[in-house]
Each structure stands twice: as C-alpha cells, then as structure tokens.
Amino acid sequence: MAQGLLVSDHPLLNDLYALNLKAYLDLSLTVVTDIDDALNIIDLDAQGDIIISLSQVEEKDSGKIILEHLEKKDNDCPFILIGENSAVSDVKRIVNLPANLNISLVIRKCAEILGVTAKEMASKKVNDFYPIPISMLECFSEAPCDIYTKVSKVRETSQFAKIIQEDEENQEYSHKKRIEKYRGLGIKQLYIPSGLRLKVVNLASEIVLKTLDDSKNDHAEMLKASEQGFEIVADFLGAGEKVSEEVVEISRKCMETMKNTLKKVPRLGPLLKQLVENKSGYLYLHAIVGIYISRHIIKNISWGSEEHSEKLSFVFFFHDIFLSPIFAAHPDLKYEEDMLLHSDLSEDEKETILNHARLASEAVKTFPRCPLGADTIILQHHGTSNGVGFTIEYKDDTSPLAKVLLISESFVEELIKERSNGMAKTLVSEIVNKLHLKFPNHTYKKIINCLDTIAF
C-alpha cells in the first residue's frame, strides 16, 4: 500500500482526496492542516511516496515553502501542487494542477507517479450507480439509458431497482409517463449506471441548449429548460469537471431565460404561482425569486445600478449550486442550517453544506467574464468572511451587495415558509418586520425598507 502526505486546510477537499485516492489507488494519506507540521514530517523523511498540497494553506504560499524545504533536504519526493496561487506554480520540479475540484485529474496524476495502470484502477470498487436530478431526465423524450430508483436507504447496503429500460418498446410513453409519475411522488433524484454519466449529461446539455435557442417554445417550456440547465451546470461543477464552453453557454442562456421570465411576470404572486405549477425544485425557485427580490432592492436604493442587478443575477445562479445534489437526494429538506442537524445526511454532505459558499466562490473564478467581485459576494452570502458556516450576528464589514443578497435570501425563505402554510400576500409586511429583527444594524435596515413596495 502506497503512503502519501496531504497538506490542506480545507476539510471537504481533505475527505474527497483521501477517500478517492484510497479507493482507486490504495494510497493512504497523512493529512495535515498546518505547514509546519508538514515540514516536520519531511524532516523525518516520513512523507511517503508522494506529497500533495494546496497552493495556499492558511493564506501562506505552501507550494514555495514546501518546495524550498524539499530542496534544502535534498528530498526528491514527487510533489503535486493544487491551485495556481503560488510563486512556484510554473516550476518543472512540481506537478501543478488547477484548483477546480477535478478529483479525477488528481487521481490520474497520482496514478502516473505511482505507476498504477488504468486496468488496476478499473478493478477497484467504485459506486455502481450515479444520482441524476429528475428534472434533467425530463428533457429526454426517450430514456438515454437504463434508469433506476433506490429502494433501500441504508448507505452501505443500498439496493437499486430498474424502473425504465433503454430499449423498451413505446419508449416515449414509457419514459415521459414514468418520470412524471416519480416526480409526482416527490422524488427529485433517480440513478443511472456510473459509467454512463458523462454520456447522459452531454446529451442533456445538447437538448437544453437547443430548447433555449428555440424562440418558438412557450414560457413554461423555457422555464423548465432553464431549470434543467441549472441542474446540468450543478452536475458539472459538483463532479469537478472542467468549466467548458458548453457549461458557460448553458449558464449564460439560463440566466437570460430567468431574466426574461421576470420581465414577463413582473409581480411576485404570479411568479410564485407559475414556478409552483411548473413543479420547480427548491434551489431553482429560490434562485429566480431571489433575483426578483434583489433587482427590486437595487432599483429602489439610492446607490443601485443595472450593473449591480446583473451582478446579483449571476451570483444568485451560482451561490448555492453545490447544494443541488443534496437537495435532490433529500427532497423533504430545504434550509441549509436545518439540514446540518438532520440524521439522514452523511458527514460529507454536511461538510459540503458548511463549505458551499467557499466552493461556489472558487468555482465562479474559472468562468470567463465573471463579474468583478461576484466571488466575494458569494463567499459572504451567509455572513461569514471565509465562506464557511453560517453567522448568527450580521456585521457591517460585509460588502453592500452581499447584504442585498443576505436580505433577499432571507425574504425568499420566509416567503416560501409562509406559502407552505397556506398564507397569502398580506404577509409581505410581516416578513419585513421579521427581517428588521434578524438584521438590526442600520445599513441592513436601509436595504430592508426597500421591500415595502414589492408588488405581490
């Protein structure tokens, strides 16, 4: 069994790298979160067969520090550096990989260094089934492959049953009706063979792009295609895939469709009604209504501009996108902070919830023409400065647009809660009162006061 050293202060990445490298390469990692600890291990020549490090650990140039220490000790241990925020990123002595959560690339590079062949990796145990949002499967007129549902909730012994066969006769009726049936049962996620994931997602991408390009489609079809595109982008980012031109194009067209929806449905009540009738998932509904609220605030505050509105539209599309697979897997749960206490969630899922702002902030940096400062707004969208966890005290050192995002999100959550209780439009003023209690500082109150004029 190979041994290695991982230097990282990111708990989620630590788990992802450690679990996957163990599963695929039988590589056991010693994980340290402090650079000094890493240097001590190198001093003892106990780093093993490979060193992996983030380029920045605790805001220090870990790549430069570790490389200089290796050279000082005349230690030629292979060194993989993840991220490009290091003075030694272009040094040939190290293998530099992009910081885009591409787990498969890390596995592949480690395999090359350790001399593990593709055949040996293929023999390792991997998950047989891959979760796919049901909204993505709805874009197909015929099943792209065999489709399964989980019939056992026990993680270690999960059982799956085939519900749709790829080559079944009368495919259009079979696929459409059965997908519709499972959505009607409240199921948000089905499963496909893991080896077919990329094929299915790529086919779905082609269909969604074609739908969004067709101006003849009615409003409901465009809204549904936009949600399917949202799920596709979430799948690519969550799986650590490279941000391709296709992903950028899907994102752009989805955001354009969402913006057009708000122009055609200018009042909050009808917008909610249409999204509910369209059976939109929680995250997509949350995003599009959040865009509506934030645009209303920007329009009614003295310093607001159209550039600010466009920036927040981009932010709302991406800020919670890493939560998409978790919401799909647990459709009965809604609010991130509540989910952390739920026994059905795995530790990895809870880690993603705690870090989703940070993950999304890092991901949008890789997008061409990302609006300036969008990553910072996403990083702060739960009131913390580092994108980890949730604050209970909202401070004034948060950026103004992040404050608009925080208040817009809180308004949407309260609105969805009240709507689920059967309440009606008279609650706007009650929600505003709740927000004044939640955000007592003066700078937040000025933003909240803009909500009084929302047209329900």
Q: What pLDDT score does 335 carry?
A: 66
Q: What pLDDT score does 265 carry?
A: 67
Q: What pLDDT score does 94 carry?
A: 92
Answer yes or no: are the C-beta atoms of 439 and 395 closer than 8 Å: no
CA 134 – CA 190 distance, rounded (Å): 6
Q: What pLDDT score does 63 carry?
A: 92
Q: Regarding predicted confidence, which is higher, 273 or 87?
A: 87
Please give the average per-residue pLDDT across 247-253, as a whole number.
84
Q: Which helix (H) or strand (E) holds 109?
A: helix 103-114
- Please determine, for residue 307, whether its predicted confidence score (pLDDT) is greater than 90: yes
Classify domain 2-122 at the CATH superfamily level: Response regulator (3.40.50.2300)
CA 410 – CA 404 distance, rounded (Å): 10
Planar angle of CA 301, 285, 450, nearest 5 degrees:
15
Using pLDDT thresholds of 50, 70 and 90, give the confidence band for residue 264. Answer: confident
What are residue 82's DSSP bridge partners?
54, 97
Q: Among 58, 66, 113, which Cα is nearest to 88's? A: 66
Please give the average per-residue pLDDT across 266-290, as a whole number.
73
Q: What pLDDT score does 452 carry?
A: 84
- Please determine, for residue 354, whether its predicted confidence score (pLDDT) is greater than 90: no
Instruction: Give residue-wise pLDDT tens across range 52-89.
Output: 999 888 889 999 999 999 999 999 999 999 988 889 88
CA 403 – CA 405 distance, rounded (Å): 5
Q: Regarding predicted confidence, which is higher, 153 or 212?
A: 212
- Please determine, for residue 202, whether its predicted confidence score (pLDDT) is greater than 60: yes
Please give the average per-residue pLDDT across 307-332, as a whole number.
84
The CATH number of 265-456 is which of 2.60.120, 1.10.260, 1.10.3210, 3.40.50? 1.10.3210
Count of CB atoms situated within 10 Å of the CB of 112: 12
Q: Is 90 helix (H, G, I), strand (E, B) or coil?
A: coil
Using pLDDT thresholds of 50, 70 and 90, give the confidence band for residue 95. Answer: very high
Which range (37-41, 324-328, 374-378) has the least confidence?
A: 324-328
- Please determine, for residue 19, whether its predicted confidence score (pLDDT) is greater than 70: no
Taking all residues of the chain, what is their mean pLDDT, rounded to a whole number? 81
CA 75 – CA 67 distance, rounded (Å): 9
Q: What pLDDT score does 206 carry?
A: 84
- Please determine, for residue 350, whether its predicted confidence score (pLDDT) is greater than 70: yes
Count of CB atoms situated within 10 Å of the CB of 397: 6
Roughly what angle, to the nearest 10 degrees, separates helices 282-300 and 306-318? 160
Which range (168-182, 289-303, 374-388, 418-432) has the least confidence?
A: 418-432
Which positions ≥6 away from 324 have C-beta within 8 Å? Answer: 133, 230, 231, 234, 235, 238, 283
- Please determine, for residue 271, whether its predicted confidence score (pLDDT) is greater than 80: no
Q: Regarding predicted confidence, which is higher, 47 or 159?
A: 47
Q: What pLDDT score does 332 carry?
A: 67
Instruction: Give residue-wise pLDDT tens across range 425-456.
Output: 567 888 888 899 999 888 899 999 999 888 76
Q: What pLDDT score does 90 carry?
A: 86
Domain spans of the chain? 2-122, 127-238+247-257, 265-456
Which range (116-120, 176-180, 194-198, 314-318) has the least confidence?
A: 116-120
Answer yes or no: are the C-beta atoms of 261 and 223 closer than 8 Å: yes
Q: Among 364, 362, 413, 409, which Cα is nearest to 383's? A: 409
Using pLDDT thresholds of 50, 70 and 90, give the confidence band for residue 268. Answer: confident
Roughly what angle, to the nearest 10 degrees, separates helices 347-364 and 11-25? 110
Q: What pLDDT score does 52 carry?
A: 95
Please give the average per-residue pLDDT across 349-362, as a whole number.
86
- Please determine, for residue 302, whether its predicted confidence score (pLDDT) is greater than 80: yes
Could you give the percent of the chain with pLDDT greater than 70? 84
* Joined tokens for residue 257: 């469709």
Instruction: Give residue-wise pLDDT tens across range 151-197.
Output: 655 444 567 777 788 876 655 556 777 788 787 777 778 888 888 88
Q: Regarding predicted confidence, which is higher, 230 or 184?
A: 230
Q: What pLDDT score does 123 carry?
A: 59
What are residue 189's DSSP bridge partners?
133
